[in-house]
Chains A and B, each alone.
Chain A
Amino acid sequence: MEKLIDKQRVVRYMSSRLLRNNVLKLLFFLATLFGLIVLVVLLYRIFTQAIGWLNIDFLNNFPSRRPENAGIKAGLVGSLWLMIIVAPVSLIIGVGTAIYLEEYAKKNRFTDFIQTNISNLAGVPSIVFGLLGLTIFVRELNLGRSILAAGLTMSLLVLPVIVVAAQEAIRAVPNQLREASYGMGATKWQTIYRIVLPAAIPGILTGSILALSRAIGETAPLVVLGIPTFLAYLPRGILDTFTVMPMQIYNWTSRPQADFQHVAAAGIVVLLVVLIFMNSIAIFIRNKFQKRY
């Protein structure tokens, strides 16, 4: 025993090991702190700028040339309409793709090819999806500058992220659960529907939160589609034209009048609140499902 552990060496190296541990711990702590501080500064700036401008009128007014009359109503309602299309379309197609690739498809070159492409698509700049949407949905399918055309474009944009997240979640479901289900005489679909999906839902939702948050904050593809910024009316259906919050904010920040910066800040606060609201719905559903296992 005495020979196996050289006490001298242990003592000699221990302090440097402890030091290294502490240095790294500090480094990681600083990395976390950095993000937090930037976030706090950003939020502080936005909230101090927005204060006094964020009121019922702001929520109830349409865009205006005068900062004091400008409101986000058209953008807020438009963003919610957009989510009504994007959320179901991207979730159904995305989760469907993930189920096929994980549960049904055989591992071969073709599925590898699809897999690589999905991962690459997740990194394609959003403006490219805008051009795709303009060609296919706005022009070929003749949907015009409608909520449907924009919603389908945004769905394409976020699909890769949802597919990859859902695949990871489905893969993480232990195989014993599937085997037990088959053992009880369940069919493949019954197993997926009753066993795999409920167990995978928390993971799928986490990925979807990120994806939908991206969709609600994007401007570039919508600008390419020709979605207007000024609207003095609200859409009545998915074939009507609309506008979204990020486009309003983008327009306000680039205006010369200093007061528009306050209007933009108020718009950002509303966007943040909607995002938090959306995320909390997802977290609520996630927690409901998590209790089962």
Chain B
Amino acid sequence: MKKNKWFALASVTSAVLAFTTACGGGAEQGDENGGENGGEKLSGNVVVDGSSTVYPILEAAAETYAGEQPDVQVSVGLSGTGGGFEKFTKGETDLSNASRPIKDEEKKAAEQNGIEFEEFKVAFDGLSVLVNKDNDWVDYLTVDELKKIFTSGAVNGDDKVKWSDIRPEWPNEEIKLFSPGHDSGTFDYFDEVILDGQPLNKTAQLSEDDNVLVQGISGDKNALGYFGYAYYVENKDKLKVVPIDNGNGPIEPTNDTVRSGEYAPLSRPLFVYANTKSLKEKPHVYDFMKYLLENGAEFSEEVGYVALPQEEYEEQLKKLEGLK
């Protein structure tokens, strides 16, 4: 009786162990299949962490790179831009994804720890301003109107803004605002270019998950919100995009207007920061970064962002070569 029990326990434990090792064996086989590739064979780890916005681009790069260099193990995390820099400036990661440029205090931290780094742009994102499909009155918004709607206290004390407060011919109904949460790089950017550091309208519904914002805006006729370009492209049939007028007439976000910078001020670059020491001392990190820049246009378009102009990728490849 007693022996049975321990036997049962032992067999269950060994079954779990056997399963995990069996899976491990499978992976090695997969590696060998993908290994037929010319050029020098590299091996080692590339540790990438940072923004969840930039994550899909790096995921695409790491996924296809595994076919080119099966022995280079690329891991990509999504601690967020700030969380990523916290580790990057301590020298714990090779590359750090960021949806905003590095802040001064983060630069200082890197300096204190003796970390040198280089900034690379990999793609553009165009923050898209959206309204409900049934909203037939909004034809465009100027940057000032956008600022007036989203800034706390700009119209009145209780932050309840009506469409008619913005333009008299619009309906006398309250605008329901939707915005990414304060922890997101998307909010940081909107805060910088639209709000100028002033507090966000208190009635705005916040969510860290852009899919929740899509749901919210598509469910309310008086909704107005903004989020990343990829979410707009995927939900074009559910929402109506608002062209933004920055003094040169209303511009709608498209691949072309975002790439050319015409869609201002809401197009923003997405960055990858590289530890210079890693680039110099680890040939596999250098090679992965080179691969990322060479194929950056394809990857960023595929996951829903806007590619940089080709010459910018080439410029950055030159910059990378200079660091070798």
Residues of A at under 8 Å CB distance from B? Answer: 60, 62-65, 73, 76-77, 80-81, 83-84, 145, 223-224, 226-236, 241, 243, 251, 253-258, 261, 281, 284-285, 288-289
- Contacts A223-B78, A224-B83; is A73 near B23 (CB within 8 Å)? yes
Are A226 and B87 in contact (CB-based, < 8 A)?
yes
Are B210 and A254 in contact (CB-based, < 8 A)?
yes
Are A289 and B5 in contact (CB-based, < 8 A)?
yes
Within 8 A of A (CB), among B1-49: 4-5, 8-9, 12, 16-17, 19-20, 23-24, 26-27, 31, 47-49
* Nearest-CB residue, chain B, relative to A292: B1
Are B59 and A256 in contact (CB-based, < 8 A)?
no
Extra 17 A-B pairs, beta carbons < 8 Å, given A80-B20, A81-B20, A255-B56: A64-B63, A65-B56, A65-B59, A73-B27, A84-B16, A145-B47, A224-B79, A228-B75, A230-B55, A230-B63, A233-B73, A235-B24, A251-B78, A254-B211, A284-B8, A284-B12, A288-B8
Find chain A residues with CB under 8 A from B87 CB: 226
Report Cα–Cα, A251/B79, bound state, in Å: 11
Are A223 and B79 in contact (CB-based, < 8 A)?
yes
Are B23 and A229 in contact (CB-based, < 8 A)?
no
Are B20 and A77 in contact (CB-based, < 8 A)?
yes
Are B26 and A60 in contact (CB-based, < 8 A)?
yes
Find chain B residues with CB under 8 A from A73 CB: 23, 27
Cβ contacts B46-80/A at 8 Å (1 or 0 each): 01110010011011101100100000011111110
- Contacts A224-B79, A226-B92; is A256 near B211 (CB within 8 Å)? yes
Report Cα–Cα, A84/B9, bound state, in Å: 14
Report Cα–Cα, A224/B228, bound state, in Å: 24
Find chain B residues with CB under 8 A from A81 CB: 20
Specify which of B12, B63, B77, B92 is in contact with A229 (CB 8 Å cutoff): B77
Find chain A residues with CB under 8 A from B235 CB: 256
CB distance from B32 to the nearest CB of A (A): 13
- Contacts A64-B63, A65-B56, A232-B62; is A256 near B230 (CB within 8 Å)? yes
Within 8 A of A (CB), among B194-213: 208-211
Find chain A residues with CB under 8 A from B16 CB: 80, 83-84
Are A230 and B59 in contact (CB-based, < 8 A)?
yes
Instruction: Give me the 8 closest cross-chain CB pairs, A-B, nearest first.
Output: A228-B75, A230-B76, A65-B60, A232-B66, A228-B77, A256-B230, A256-B234, A256-B231
- Contacts A65-B303, A229-B55, A254-B52; is A84 near B75 (CB within 8 Å)? no
In the complex, whether B302 has a CB less than 8 A from a CB of chain A is yes
CB distance from B93 to the nearest CB of A (A): 8
Are B56 and A227 in contact (CB-based, < 8 A)?
no
Report Cα–Cα, A81/B235, bound state, in Å: 38
Report Cα–Cα, A40/B59, bound state, in Å: 34
* Nearest-CB residue, chain B, relative to A80: B20
* Nearest-CB residue, chain A, relative to B62: A230
Report Cα–Cα, A65/B233, bound state, in Å: 16
Find chain A residues with CB under 8 A from B17 CB: 84
Residues of B at under 8 Å CB distance from A? Answer: 4-5, 8-9, 12, 16-17, 19-20, 23-24, 26-27, 31, 47-49, 52, 55-56, 58-60, 62-63, 66, 73-79, 83, 87, 92-93, 208-211, 228, 230-231, 233-235, 299, 302-304
Find chain B residues with CB under 8 A from A236 CB: 24
Are A281 and B12 in contact (CB-based, < 8 A)?
yes
Report Cα–Cα, A226/B52, bound state, in Å: 13
16 interchain pairs, CB-CB under 8 A: A62-B66, A76-B23, A80-B20, A81-B20, A226-B87, A227-B77, A229-B55, A230-B55, A230-B58, A230-B62, A230-B77, A232-B66, A233-B66, A243-B75, A253-B211, A281-B12
Find chain A residues with CB under 8 A from B47 CB: 145, 228
Find chain A residues with CB under 8 A from B299 CB: 65
Specify which of A145, A227, A251, A261 is in contact with B55 (CB 8 Å cutoff): A251
- Contacts A228-B77, A229-B78, A231-B75; is A63 near B211 (CB within 8 Å)? no
Report Cα–Cα, A256/B228, bound state, in Å: 9
Report Cα–Cα, A62/B49, bound state, in Å: 18
Find chain B residues with CB under 8 A from A77 CB: 20, 23-24
Are A63 and B59 in contact (CB-based, < 8 A)?
yes
Q: Which of B9, B66, B76, B304 has the most CB of A within 10 A?
A: B76
CB distance from A263 to the nearest CB of B (A): 13
Report Cα–Cα, A63/B17, bound state, in Å: 23
- Contacts A256-B234, A258-B234; is A232 near B92 (CB within 8 Å)? no
Find chain B residues with CB under 8 A from A76 CB: 23
CB distance from A292 to the nearest CB of B (A): 8
Report Cα–Cα, A77/B27, bound state, in Å: 11
Find chain B residues with CB under 8 A from A226 CB: 49, 77, 79, 83, 87, 92-93
Report Cα–Cα, A64/B16, bound state, in Å: 26
* Nearest-CB residue, chain B, relative to A282: B12
Are B8 and A232 in contact (CB-based, < 8 A)?
no
- Contacts A84-B16, A254-B211; is A288 near B77 (CB within 8 Å)? no
- Contacts A64-B63, A256-B228, A284-B8; is A234 near B210 (CB within 8 Å)? no
